[in-house]
Amino acid sequence: MLKVDVSSALSFLPQDWFTARQAALEEARVKLENGSGAGGEFTGWVHLPRDYDKEEYARIKAAAAKIRSDSDALVVIGIGGSYLGARAVIELLASPNYNLKKKDGPDIFFAGNGLSTDALLEVIDLVKDRDFSVNVISKSGTTTEPAVAFRIFKALLEEKYGKEGAKGRIYATTDKARGALKGLADREGYEEFVVPDEVGGRYSVLTAVGLLPIAVAGIDTDALMAGAAEAMEALAQGGADNPAWQYAAARHALYEGGKKVELLACYEPSFRFFAEWWKQLYGESEGKENKGIFPASVEFTADLHSMGQYIQQGERLMLETVVRFDQSRGEFTIPHDPENVDGLNFLAGKNLSFVAEQALRAVTLAHVDGGVPNLRVDLPRRCERAVGQMIYFFEYACGLSGYLLGVNPFDQPGVEAYKNNMYALLGKPGYEQQKAELEARL
Ligand code: PA5
């Protein structure tokens, strides 16, 4: 089971950092387990690794097998919670270079996660002359970015395969009853998957939202779900040994002690999008009522040569959480060089993972000396089971953290402000007065 190590943060923590929060953690645990806290109607993810819809899960696998057999590319359309989880897991477990690798599944492209004309045109260009399918994912079915992208890929598929042919290549993941995408999918007869009512976007990676693209990438979803289920069992037991309790308590105590930014760091470049997923999870869950740790991320060792300066000596406002995988998937031995121009022959014969481990140890000590408390999340290896555990761990610790902070960890009222302004400026019917007011201000 995943472990949390707080030893390199202890010198920054008050003695009672855990005991002072134990009662609040127990309260938060009960709220998560029975959905009795703020936003409790969105705690469906808590028991999801056990209570998921088995019939739908089988359909997800069947759809993934079909896509793998009839498509050279899959376009996954979605944004935020309907995007980041799938990409995080595919990059972490398959590879950020997944599309470049020799494989027996299709390339996977992501679209509808922004409003860049150039990015959209590029994906169109990359798939239009190949056999492709589309998985459009939107819980509300009304989000502008994916809706615009879907119009385009739907038209492209219909032009290429005819309306009937396109129908067999479009997979819609949306609300079970409501929304524009649901209506369209029903009318057109697309295969549909459900974003459960009680699971918010950023907690939805282990539903069809994440699982269909992940399965198309050839990742073992059974092992992913099994890992999450192990974490669910383990984290439901409260107490000082619970890693989610340790993480939530430590970061909350550090926040109260003035650490307002949390850097999530990892020594695996494939972790980059997992950190993006984590940032949404924590940023949207905690950042409200003028409170919350600002979640940021760095990739080590690359960013030690850029952000390292700030981390070591800039404003002392951050804590660092390092995700560490114990074993690499392969091994690389540093060769001997008879000329030894770089003076590195003292490393000849050593494994690169040994060097990386010494880097991690050196960085931890330096950052602690520089005033940056370090928390560590330890996992055995970069495999489905461990990643399933980690997903659930971060979700559960996030729920606990939100309740410790006294906010609703499951809403996101703040994301509506820009959307309303944008609808008004774009001339959406019903927004006429707001448009005039905004235009006057601009
Ligand atoms: O977490 C969230 O609620 C958001 O990030 C949403 O997932 C995102 O805005 C996409 O929404 P939808 O799935 O309704 O298109």
**In sequence order, what DSSP letters do the residues of 40-58 get, joined into one string?**
GGGBTTSSHHHHS-HHHHH
Question: What does the pLDDT average to over 251-272?
Answer: 98
Which residue of 143, 173, 398 sits with most ligand 1 atoms within 8 Å of its CB, as the best mutation to test the pocket? Answer: 143
CB burial readout 39-64, b (16+ within 10 A) else e: beebbbbbbbbeebeeebbebbeebb
Give the residue among 376, 371, 364 at the shortest CA–CA distance from 258: 371
pLDDT at residue 142 above 90? no
> How does DSSP classify residue 207?
S
Sorted by sequence, the CB contacts under 8 Å of residue 295 that are 6+ apart come out as: 261, 262, 264, 278, 279, 282, 283
Report the pLDDT value the prediction gives residue 185, as an integer from 0 to 100.
96
Sorted by sequence, the CB contacts under 8 Å of residue 40 that are 6+ apart come out as: 31, 34, 410
> Which residue, by CA, sits nearest to atom 3 of ligand 1?
201
Which residue of 135, 139, 182, 279 sits with most ligand 1 atoms within 8 Å of its CB, as the best mutation to test the pocket? Answer: 139
Ligand 1 centroid – CA 81 distance (Å): 5
pLDDT at residue 389 above 90? yes
Angstrom distance (rounded) from CA 28 to CA 31: 5
Residue 374, strand partner residues: 320
Question: What does the pLDDT average to over 158-166?
Answer: 97
Ligand 1 centroid – CA 112 distance (Å): 12
What would the pLDDT profile of 345-384 be if each residue is shown by its tens digit? Answer: 999 999 999 999 999 999 999 999 999 999 999 999 999 9
Ligand 1 centroid – CA 292 distance (Å): 20
For residue 242 the two structure tokens come to: 């619970």
Report the pLDDT value the prediction gives residue 416, as an integer from 0 to 100.
84
Report the pLDDT value the prediction gives residue 169, as an integer from 0 to 100.
98
Cis-peptide, bond into residue 301, ω within 30° of zero: yes
Question: What pLDDT band is residue 417 in, cutting at 50, 70 and 90?
Answer: confident
Angstrom distance (rounded) from CA 192 to CA 171: 6
Angle at 369 between CA 366 and CA 370, to 5 degrees: 85
Sorted by sequence, the CB contacts under 8 Å of residue 307 that are 6+ apart come out as: 298
What would the pLDDT profile of 267-292 be if each residue is shown by its tens digit? Answer: 999 999 999 999 999 999 999 999 99
Report the pLDDT value the prediction gives residue 300, as an integer from 0 to 100.
97
The rounded mean pLDDT for the chain is: 97
For residue 129 the two structure tokens come to: 């002359």
Report the pLDDT value the prediction gives residue 140, as an integer from 0 to 100.
87
Going by their DSSP bridges, the two strands 107-111 and 73-77 should be labelled as: parallel
Report the pLDDT value the prediction gives residue 141, as an integer from 0 to 100.
86
Angstrom distance (rounded) from CA 423 to CA 413: 16
What would the pLDDT profile of 321-346 be if each residue is shown by its tens digit? Answer: 999 999 999 999 999 999 999 999 99
Angstrom distance (rounded) from CA 105 to CA 63: 13
Report the pLDDT value the prediction gives residue 318, as an integer from 0 to 100.
98
Residue 76, strand partner residues: 110, 135
Residues having CB closer than 6 A to ligand 1 are: 79-82, 138-140, 143, 146, 200-202, 284, 412
Question: What does the pLDDT average to over 15-25?
Answer: 98
Give the residue among 173, 161, 390, 182 at the shortest CA–CA distance from 266: 390
Report the pLDDT value the prediction gives residue 328, as an integer from 0 to 100.
96
Report the pLDDT value the prediction gives residue 251, as an integer from 0 to 100.
98
- Crossing angle of the two packed helices 208-216 and 54-70, in degrees rounded to 10: 30
Ligand 1 centroid – CA 334 distance (Å): 45
Going by their DSSP bridges, the two strands 191-194 and 261-266 should be labelled as: unpaired
Task: Give Cα separations from 399 to 33, 79, 363, 389, 407 (angstroms).
Answer: 10, 22, 30, 15, 10
Q: Strand order of the sheet with strand 3-5?
A: 3-5, 374-381, 318-327, 261-266, 294-299
Task: Find out whether 214 and 89 touch, Cβ atoms under 8 Å.
Answer: yes
As annotated, the active-site residues are 284, 305, 419
Going by their DSSP bridges, the two strands 3-5 and 73-77 should be labelled as: unpaired
Give the largest Cα separation in the chain, rounded.
76
Task: Find out whether 421 and 257 touch, Cβ atoms under 8 Å.
Answer: no
Question: What does the pLDDT average to over 26-47?
Answer: 98
Angstrom distance (rounded) from CA 33 to CA 171: 32
> Which residue, by CA, sits nearest to atom 5 of ligand 1?
80
Question: Among the atoms of ligand 1, which is closest to the Cα of residue 137?
Answer: 13
Question: What does the pLDDT average to over 115-143?
Answer: 96
Task: Find out whether 32 and 399 touch, Cβ atoms under 8 Å.
Answer: yes
Angstrom distance (rounded) from CA 398 to CA 412: 14
For residue 32 the two structure tokens come to: 């998560």
pLDDT at residue 415 above 90? no
Angstrom distance (rounded) from CA 147 to CA 78: 9
What would the pLDDT profile of 195-245 be if each residue is shown by its tens digit? Answer: 999 999 999 999 999 999 999 999 999 999 999 999 999 999 999 999 999
Question: What does the pLDDT average to over 58-78?
Answer: 98
